Structure 1
Amino acid sequence: MAKVFITWALFASLGLATTQVDLGYSIYQGVKNSTTGLTTFLGVRYAAPPIGSLRWQAPQSPAVNRTVMSASSFGPICPNSPLSLGPFGSVGAIASTEDCLFLNVYAPSNAKNLPVLVYIHGGGYGAGNGQQDLSSIINGNGNSFIGVAIQYRLGAFGFLSSAEVKRKGVLNAGILDQHFSLEWVQKYIACFGGDPNRVTISGESAGAGSVMLHDIAYGGTLGTSLFINSITASPYTPEQYEYSDPVPTALYDKFAIAAGCPTGPTSFECLVAQNSTTLQEASFNGFTPMTDGTYIQQRPSQALLQKKVNGLKQLSGNNANEGNLFVISGITTESDLVAYVNETFFMLTSTEQNTLLNYYSFIADPQEAAYEIYGDATLVCPSYWLAEAYSAKDSLKGYKYQYSVPVALHGTDTAAYFGPPTVNQGPDFVKAFQTIWGNFVTKNDPSISNSIANGAASPSPHAPNPASHWPPYSRAAPEFINLNETGGTLANVTSPFGTIVLEYIEPGLKNNITLLNAYTFENDRGVRCDYWRSISANVPE
């Protein structure tokens, strides 16, 4: 066994990439791709199967298996909730297994001490998987960094909360899985040619919300031990209660009953002993992270206000129309809007609710107002708070952007940086967006050159562009880069959700990247976000 770890240590010290990696506990054979110039290692186990007595327990190190294992295909995905949150969730349970704690590595050939981008998938904490292909964004940045995409326990398996779970298991198991994968990166990424001292963690939607929770983990006392930068694209921030509050306790009891277990002192043991299929079918409520007092010590709005953060740099983004996919239709009157707010944010006092509605009175259409209210509360304002939290001192910097390419619904940005791009995302725009992420990973700064920001199709590609000197976000200067396009040809396009929409497509698309005031933008959005934070205890977020 000593020889095994000497081999691993040698590769780690040299920082060399290879098609076969010895991790000490296992050996994986990767696959070279001559088209991308990357060697992929798919289905790499980073933790022991969280099954049997390890269900709802902290992740554990994998058992030693010295057989050379092929890393040519993805590992099994984690069980998805039958009805997950958000527009990208599943309608029915997907074939899966609880033995799902795998990750995937995308390493440039002959990589040596390259920066690392870790990606955490979204899906409302109840759906999704780690099969996002990171090849395009790596290729788009000249193969200058390594990519890692992870999986974590979802739904009730990852986020079951109650005093009973606290006593006999662990809270936020899915978040602890993510943390364990980041520790794995620190231990083993050098075997793939990566530099553990230059790790950027990233995510979209619930993945970005997860990144936010790692940003504030342990009260912001982790420093740069696991990552130096973080990217949060539309950080999904659902209600976050104390783990033993009535809401998570009621969800625990409903889950136990649906799984055929009693609601009493033996409920946890019954759930641990229950078969996986029964538990998957019972996981139909929205299980999300809770304040556990240890890893997640506060609600995000408060931790970020107090600037209790890990890492050094933050790149935070939101889309222009975040709320549209999450809000019910048929909100046609003021009474409908009041009813929607009352049901969605049921802990607000009548005074808070009335004040909130006044902040959105500039929107004449009640349906549009509902979109804006939900989007601000759950996705947009948290991105503001993140950027501001990293303006505490000179060593910290936060950067802010908005994705505004019509129709800029939640999740539509990912096609631009991960690919394949949608028809309304021109090649110049894709190049700019991918380079923004890439420069942040490799240079700790999202600024891009004037020529890339303006694009080859611009009549003045070398004209000054604000994205070439991206200003850090601060309360005194709350500026963000607006990522949009102009020009193009109007056409009927089938959206990712099957609807026909009018969009501008090639030929003729040109980048339109500008600097705007985030505070005064759209009738003082910054003021609205301040109000959301002031009432966050009753949201709660």
Structure 2
Amino acid sequence: MNWFLPVLSALLLAAAGVNGATIPHSKPFEELLNKRQSNGATGLQVDLGYQVYQGVANSTTGLNTFKGIRFASPPTGSLRWQAPQPPMMNRSAVAQANTYQSSCPQSPDSSGKPINTTLDFASEDCLFLNVYAPANASNLPVLVWIHGGGYGAGNGREDLTAIIKANNNSFVGVAIQYRLGAFGFLSSDEVYRNGVVNAGLLDQHFALQWVQAYIGMFGGNASQVTISGESAGGGSVMLQDMAFGGSMGTSLFVNTIAASPYLPMQYGYKDWIPSQSYYAFAIEAGCIPSTAYGSSSQTIFQCLVGKNTTDLQNASFNVSASGTFGTWGFLPVTDGVFVQDLPSQQLLRKKVNGQRMLAGNNVNEGSPFTPQNITTEAELLAWLTLTFPLFTNDDIAKVLLYYPSSNASDDPTAVEYATLGYSGASALNESQVGTGQQQRADNIYAETTFVCPSYWMVEAYTDKGRSSYKYQYSVPVSTHGQDVTGYFGPATPNQGPDFELAFMTIWGNFITKNNPSISTAIANGASSNNTSATNAATNWPPFSIFAPYQINLNETGGVPFSVPSTGGRNVTEFMNPGLRNDFSLVNAYTWEAEYVFL
């Protein structure tokens, strides 16, 4: 259904303006590199020029870990809402890189789900990264992980040990942090004029520049970098792919992995919605617009820069928590320089950085972000109007047309089950977590926010010497985020060891071999009746609009058990004994009754 792409793009269109964010210097660490007193690493000591770090060796995993490496100056005081700057010199003592450093201040979405906001580990001084390097590594490929969390929560503490070890210690891992919430994504005309918008994205970009400058000291190959992320991390990968209009080529990375890439409404930097969040944040922080705006002595921006961190953290938290259900208060915007256009537009033109793309989505992405009490079309209409405030009545009518209702029951006690994807009930109206109008809402949110972006991304890498690969994670119940333990661990009951090894190897082969295909033995799994049988994942075809194939990653067999899911429902998952991999090649465009509208 290719006719839906321009329709959806038009519905998601937000005004874009000229950006005031400065383009980061191409080699911001060059001067600091000249301060080194040793050529890179000596044993577990790494001289970065601005600081010397002592790592930790693990003889069990064969990895050397370096936690809490500073990659930028603290973005505090006068550096609030400014582009990241290189670290200050600090060579007075060797820094012990054995513990994680502070996470960035956390802000929740408005669904009421708890987040870890403990201030003993959250600080504005949070631009750190963690490196996982195989012992005696030399010229190995590199994986950079960008965490998710709606651009308001999360941190770089994802342990990359399991995926590296599962791939025979064949690459170096880096997990980065970036400013979140209002600290990273505050936007308005005043922020634009006096600082930068999309500061969190600039932090990510700066961390990638750090990787180019320093990863060789840890045994990594700067010319073979893969960036990856899930949810807002996947959305970040998408925006780094698009950075500076896709004009950077392979200067920072060659491969990208985007799992469930998060694309909320992307407004222009001074549009009404981000501006209202700016003023709400100012009021919460005690910078009253009526007294600060236009003042000859102090602007709102100056007032915010001078505020103490507790007031600002509380303000960011409160504004984000008070928004529309399932949304965060501060998000990336179109700024005209770093983010030059909407993803639906730029990806259509295939203006991207990097050379290869692996993208995936989950079966039930939308339910955690959708109120689970929608039983009538009137309630669906009310939710649509609130969730997509710029949609006109005509836009809403088109959405209802392209996502039709059905005769599926709206009874929350009705039997719910996972769809097969190719026959029977489809995700248009049925899943384990919803039926009828509820599933209709869940599916609309899933496609506009996570699923369609994953398709746009793989389509953007289908020519000009590029290639892309697509998968769907379908292990029941496959709600948003449940895939992460599949490639990073720790194992969950519904994912057998065969599946986890296969998923980790899919990522690992893409990182190290530029192709996600895996051996038949790993694809079928040790528990298979025939480990040498032909498997779809052993010869993974590149994605093409003429041959739009993806691999459906699922399991079969096992023992059913019940677990709580979104909306208080219990869903059925399956555990060992008896779990076996079930990977199949499917047409991504006709999958789930063509539920992905392109």
Q: Which residue identity is paired with 1:345?
A: F
The Cα shift of 1:5 comes to 3.8
Matched-pair contact (CA < 8 Å) for 1:205–1:235: yes
- CA distance in 2 between counterparts of 1:56 and 1:258 reads 17
Residue by residue, what CA displacement relative to the aligned partner does 1:26-52 show, whole Å, maximum 9, x if unpaired? 000000112211110000000000001
| Partner residue, 2:64 | 39
| Aligned with 2:334 (options 283, 291, 306) | 291
Q: Which residue identity is paired with 1:245?
A: D
- CA distance in 2 between counterparts of 1:293 and 1:135 reads 38
Matched-pair contact (CA < 8 Å) for 2:102–2:123: yes
- CA distance in 2 between counterparts of 1:72 and 1:101 reads 16
Matched-pair contact (CA < 8 Å) for 2:368–2:566: no
The Cα shift of 1:360 comes to 1.9
Q: Which residue identity is paired with 1:28?
A: Y
* Residue 325 (str. 1) matches residue 368 (str. 2): yes
| Partner residue, 2:310 | 277
Residue by residue, what CA displacement relative to the aligned partner does 1:311-365 show, whole Å, maximum 9, x if unpaired? 0000000000000111002111121112211221222222221221122225530
| Aligned with 1:378 (options 420, 431, 449) | 449
Sequence identity (%): 57
| Partner residue, 1:477 | 547
| Partner residue, 2:532 | 462
| Partner residue, 1:10 | 39
| Partner residue, 1:539 | none
The Cα shift of 1:459 comes to 1.2
| Partner residue, 1:410 | 480
| Aligned with 1:19 (options 44, 52, 60) | 44
Query: Bigger CA drift: 516-525 or 168-177?
Result: 516-525
Relative to the length of structure 1, the TM-score reads 0.93
- CA distance in 1 between counterparts of 2:439 and 2:445 reads 10
The Cα shift of 1:496 comes to 10
- CA distance in 2 between counterparts of 1:250 and 1:179 reads 27
Q: Which residue identity is paired with 2:308?
A: N
* Residue 143 (str. 1) matches residue 169 (str. 2): yes
2:301 aligned counterpart, secondary structure: helix
The Cα shift of 1:10 comes to 3.3
- CA distance in 2 between counterparts of 1:456 and 1:418 reads 20
| Partner residue, 2:422 | none
Quick one: structure 1 residues 196 and 308, their matched pair in 2 at CA, closer, same or farther if it must change by over 3 Å?
Answer: same
* Residue 164 (str. 1) matches residue 234 (str. 2): no
| Partner residue, 2:437 | 366
| Partner residue, 2:6 | none
1:232 aligned counterpart, secondary structure: strand
Quick one: structure 1 residues 227 and 8, their matched pair in 2 at CA, closer, same or farther if it must change by over 3 Å?
Answer: farther
Gaps in structure 2 of 5+ consecutive residues: 1-29, 321-328, 409-435
Matched-pair contact (CA < 8 Å) for 1:85–1:126: no
* Residue 68 (str. 1) matches residue 68 (str. 2): no
Q: Which residue identity is paired with 1:276?
A: T
The Cα shift of 1:452 comes to 1.1
Gaps in structure 1 of 5+ consecutive residues: 531-541
- CA distance in 2 between counterparts of 1:147 and 1:268 reads 38
Matched-pair contact (CA < 8 Å) for 1:89–1:126: no
- CA distance in 2 between counterparts of 1:451 and 1:100 reads 43
| Partner residue, 1:537 | none
Quick one: structure 1 residues 2 and 63, their matched pair in 2 at CA, closer, same or farther if it must change by over 3 Å?
Answer: closer
- CA distance in 2 between counterparts of 1:88 and 1:435 reads 32
- CA distance in 2 between counterparts of 1:86 and 1:176 reads 28
| Partner residue, 1:387 | 458
| Partner residue, 1:535 | none
The Cα shift of 1:108 comes to 0.5
- CA distance in 2 between counterparts of 1:88 and 1:34 reads 39
Residue by residue, what CA displacement relative to the aligned partner does 1:366-399 show, whole Å, maximum 9, x if unpaired? 0011110100010011001001010032x21111
- CA distance in 2 between counterparts of 1:65 and 1:146 reads 26
Quick one: structure 1 residues 183 and 414, their matched pair in 2 at CA, closer, same or farther if it must change by over 3 Å?
Answer: same
Matched-pair contact (CA < 8 Å) for 2:255–2:356: yes
1:325 aligned counterpart, secondary structure: helix
| Aligned with 2:155 (options 118, 123, 129) | 129
Matched-pair contact (CA < 8 Å) for 1:84–1:90: no
Matched-pair contact (CA < 8 Å) for 1:222–1:310: yes
Matched-pair contact (CA < 8 Å) for 1:93–1:280: no
The Cα shift of 1:504 comes to 0.8
- CA distance in 2 between counterparts of 1:497 and 1:106 reads 38
| Aligned with 2:400 (options 357, 363, 367) | 357
The Cα shift of 1:2 comes to 10
1:24 aligned counterpart, secondary structure: coil
Matched-pair contact (CA < 8 Å) for 2:141–2:172: yes
* Residue 217 (str. 1) matches residue 227 (str. 2): no
Q: Which residue identity is paired with 1:230?
A: T
- CA distance in 2 between counterparts of 1:345 and 1:122 reads 22
Residue by residue, what CA displacement relative to the aligned partner does 1:1-39 show, whole Å, maximum 9, x if unpaired? 99984857733xxxx783110011100000011221111
| Aligned with 1:201 (options 227, 252, 276) | 227
Matched-pair contact (CA < 8 Å) for 2:372–2:567: no
* Residue 29 (str. 1) matches residue 29 (str. 2): no
- CA distance in 2 between counterparts of 1:346 and 1:80 reads 26
Matched-pair contact (CA < 8 Å) for 2:367–2:566: no
| Partner residue, 1:155 | 181
| Partner residue, 2:285 | 259
| Partner residue, 1:534 | none
Matched-pair contact (CA < 8 Å) for 1:242–1:292: yes
Matched-pair contact (CA < 8 Å) for 1:17–1:109: no
- CA distance in 2 between counterparts of 1:450 and 1:172 reads 44
2:390 aligned counterpart, secondary structure: coil
| Aligned with 1:103 (options 129, 144, 148) | 129
Matched-pair contact (CA < 8 Å) for 1:331–1:366: yes
- CA distance in 2 between counterparts of 1:519 and 1:2 reads 50
| Equivalent residues, number | 522
Quick one: structure 1 residues 318 and 88, their matched pair in 2 at CA, closer, same or farther if it must change by over 3 Å?
Answer: farther
- CA distance in 1 between counterparts of 2:229 and 2:113 reads 15
Matched-pair contact (CA < 8 Å) for 1:106–1:146: yes
- CA distance in 2 between counterparts of 1:86 and 1:134 reads 29
| Aligned with 1:348 (options 379, 391, 407) | 391
| Partner residue, 1:432 | 502
Matched-pair contact (CA < 8 Å) for 1:85–1:124: no
1:32 aligned counterpart, secondary structure: strand
Matched-pair contact (CA < 8 Å) for 1:150–1:178: yes
- CA distance in 2 between counterparts of 1:117 and 1:60 reads 23
1:77 aligned counterpart, secondary structure: coil
Matched-pair contact (CA < 8 Å) for 1:227–1:311: yes
Quick one: structure 1 residues 247 and 495, their matched pair in 2 at CA, closer, same or farther if it must change by over 3 Å?
Answer: closer
The Cα shift of 1:525 comes to 2.5
| Partner residue, 1:306 | 349
| Partner residue, 1:316 | 359
- CA distance in 2 between counterparts of 1:479 and 1:357 reads 28
Q: Which residue identity is paired with 2:592?
A: E
| Partner residue, 1:187 | 213
Quick one: structure 1 residues 115 and 91, their matched pair in 2 at CA, closer, same or farther if it must change by over 3 Å?
Answer: closer
Matched-pair contact (CA < 8 Å) for 2:405–2:437: no
| Partner residue, 2:79 | 54
| Partner residue, 2:16 | none
- CA distance in 1 between counterparts of 2:59 and 2:565 reads 32
- CA distance in 2 between counterparts of 1:8 and 1:446 reads 41
Matched-pair contact (CA < 8 Å) for 2:106–2:116: no
Matched-pair contact (CA < 8 Å) for 2:35–2:50: no
